[in-house]
Amino acid sequence: MEVTERLWGRKTEATWSTVAGSLFLVSICPIWIIANWITLEYFGGSLYAFFSAVSSDGLIAFTQQYAPRPSLRASIGYACWLVFQATLYSLLPGPLSTGQLTPAGNLLKYKTNGLLAWVVTHLLTVLAATFGLLDLALIANHWEGLLVAVNVYGFLLAAFCLIKAHVLPSHPNDRKFSGSLIFDYFVGIELNPRFGELWDFKLFHNGRPGIVAWTLIDLSYTAFQYQNHGYISNSILIVDLFHTIYVVDFFINEDWYLRTIDMSHDHFGFYLGWGSVALLPTLYTIQVQYLARFPVDLTLPQVVAILSLGLGGYALFRSANHQKDVVRSTNGQCNIWGNRARYIRCSYKTEDGRTHESLLLTSGWWGFSRHTNYLGDLMQAFSMCAVCGFDNLMPWYYFLFIAAILFHRVLRDEGRCLKKYGKNWELYCSKVSWRLIPGIF
Ligand code: NDP
């Protein structure tokens, strides 16, 4: 069994291209999500109308007229939302789950009470609406101010994490300094920034202001559609269903999430911080924002086709992710598709010099291709967008975004796995030669 000596954590040194890329993404991503709102709000979702107005008004006049304005109510509301979620995260009971060994050899514990937080949040919202204390369309009606608030918080969060990494790191040996402030701000320095022993920035921000908000925003835009059009379209109900399945699945399997790339390998900076609090709630709900304004009524064959693809994608996604988790948690002593699991037993080193064992599954979905779980995600993302029809590109941004990040992940993850497992990764690639779809990619 070959043990690779090379370091397999995030690359340390920034190059001019990674710095330029970081600067580009930090600038363009917020502009993109704000432009999406302007296009929906003022230009009927038409990109052509949006760009025509930019070119006829000029960028400065256009920005002065259409840029979202901060609102005190939305800012206070958002601050209360963060405090409320932080309180639930801190106080609700939940099992203690274990993450994955970090490159420096740390094995962290996490309180996984996300499902309870999701249930409490949604229950309170529905109860408050039922008793007339809350307008369900509140979020949709205050979207402009919220858009400003989430962006401001996302930028401040990444800045706070950058400073914290220098002055008060949680796990000093799991920090990566690149030599570039911009690159460090973008990708983060600390792998697992925390307050105290258990209060984990990544788990909190991705799960709570990010994923709990996802279905709450859906609910709000569905109410908005009802209030403005007098009915609820089957298309928005199908998106709501797909999103709810995805979100509830995430929280039921919150323990599994601790061993995904986000949690195990990505450091916490703008990419994950701003991404979780600003991009996730605004881009991942783009279909409901679109449908609430421009309802689409699907025919029965369309409903059947979309539901089949989306639910099939979910089954594939869950089954592939489960197979990987179960083979490792049982140390290979399990059946996959009725047969004994096949795997490669391999070793790797952490930076403290210790050697550890791991398994690479080669049967089931992981023998079909090296990232079948991504294929399941892509099928779901496609279905979530297909409900909006093919007339407009905007609701398809979600699918395009997921396709881009998963394609990028395939490449960067395989580079990291090669560093971590060396020859055994090459052996795995020779046994399972396709990355996503056999015969295509
Ligand atoms: P994976 O859960 O596929 O994790 C990849 C890691 O698994 C590798 O780095 C390696 O880590 C380990 N691994 C690779 N091959 C094998 C194998 N054959 N057997 C056992 N372990 C293996 O990737 P992600 O964390 O990116 O994704 C998790 C899920 O989340 C996916 O379904 C994805 O589609 C979804 N996702 C959704 C996103 C969204 O925004 N909707 C964004 C990103 C992901 P190691 O050996 O170091 O443990």
| pLDDT tens profile 90-99 | 999 999 999 9
How far does the centroid of ligand 1 lie from the alpha carbon of residue 278, in Å? 23
**The two three-digit tokens of residue 13, written as one number:** 């040194």
Task: Out of 8-22, 217-231, 378-392, pick the least confident.
Answer: 8-22
Burial of residue 162 (CB within 10 Å: 0-12, 13-18, 19+) is buried
pLDDT band at residue 43 using 50, 70 and 90 as cut-offs? very high
Query: Do the Cβ atoms of 32 and 394 come closer than 8 Å?
Result: no
Atom of ligand 1 nearest to the CA of 257: 28
What are the backbone angles phi and psi of residue 347, rounded to the nearest 5°? -125, 155
Query: Do the Cβ atoms of 30 and 278 come closer than 8 Å?
Result: yes
Residue 6 has pLDDT above 70, yes or no: no
Strands (E), 119-272: 194-195, 199-200
d(Cα 50, Cα 47) in Å, to the nearest integer? 5
Residue of minimum CA distance from atom 34 in ligand 1: 374
Specify the higher pLDDT residue, 100 or 4: 100
The pLDDT of 134-154, averaged and rounded, is 97
d(Cα 238, Cα 387) in Å, to the nearest integer? 7
pLDDT band at residue 5 using 50, 70 and 90 as cut-offs? very low
How far does the centroid of ligand 1 lie from the alpha carbon of residue 361, in Å? 12
The residues that bridge with 3 in the sheet, in sequence order, are 347
Residue 253 has pLDDT above 90, yes or no: yes
Residue 4 has pLDDT above 60, yes or no: no
The pLDDT of 135-150, averaged and rounded, is 98
- The mean pLDDT of the chain is 94
How far does the centroid of ligand 1 lie from the alpha carbon of residue 154, in Å? 25
What's the order of all strands across the beta sheet hosting 355-361?
A: 3-4, 343-349, 355-361
pTM for this one? Answer: 0.93
pLDDT of the residue at 3? 42
pLDDT of the residue at 371? 94
d(Cα 253, Cα 112) in Å, to the nearest integer? 9
How many Å is the maximal CA-CA distance in the chain?
66
**The two three-digit tokens of residue 178, written as one number:** 């690149």
pLDDT of the residue at 8? 61
Closest to 167 measured CA to CA, from 191, 196, 190: 190
pLDDT of the residue at 2? 44
d(Cα 337, Cα 72) in Å, to the nearest integer? 55
pLDDT, tens digit, 9 for 90 and up, residues 268-295: 999 999 999 999 999 999 999 999 999 9
DSSP H/E element including 240: helix 234-252
d(Cα 331, Cα 336) in Å, to the nearest integer? 13
Residue 140 has pLDDT above 60, yes or no: yes
8-state DSSP, 441: -
Strands (E), 196-338: 199-200, 335-336
How far does the centroid of ligand 1 lie from the alpha carbon of residue 420, in Å? 15
Residues within 6 Å of ligand 1 by CB: 100, 260-262, 317, 321, 324, 358, 360-361, 366, 373-374, 377, 402, 405, 409, 413, 417, 420
Closest to 153 measured CA to CA, from 63, 58, 79: 79
How far does the centroid of ligand 1 lie from the alpha carbon of residue 295, in Å? 35
CB atoms within 10 A of CB 129: 17
How far does the centroid of ligand 1 lie from the alpha carbon of residue 261, in Å? 6
Cα dihedral 296, 139, 214, 240 sign: negative
pLDDT of the residue at 7? 60
The residues that bridge with 111 in the sheet, in sequence order, are 96
pLDDT, tens digit, 9 for 90 and up, residues 320-371: 999 999 999 999 999 999 999 999 999 888 888 888 889 999 999 999 999 9
Residue of minimum CA distance from atom 43 in ligand 1: 406
Q: State percent of the chain over pLDDT 90.
A: 86
pLDDT, tens digit, 9 for 90 and up, residues 167-221: 999 999 999 999 999 999 999 999 999 999 899 999 999 999 989 999 999 999 9
Residue of minimum CA distance from atom 40 in ligand 1: 402
Residue of minimum CA distance from atom 27 in ligand 1: 260
CB atoms within 10 A of CB 240: 20
Residue of minimum CA distance from atom 21 in ligand 1: 360
How far does the centroid of ligand 1 lie from the alpha carbon of residue 399, in Å? 18
CB atoms within 10 A of CB 408: 10
Atom of ligand 1 nearest to the CA of 260: 25
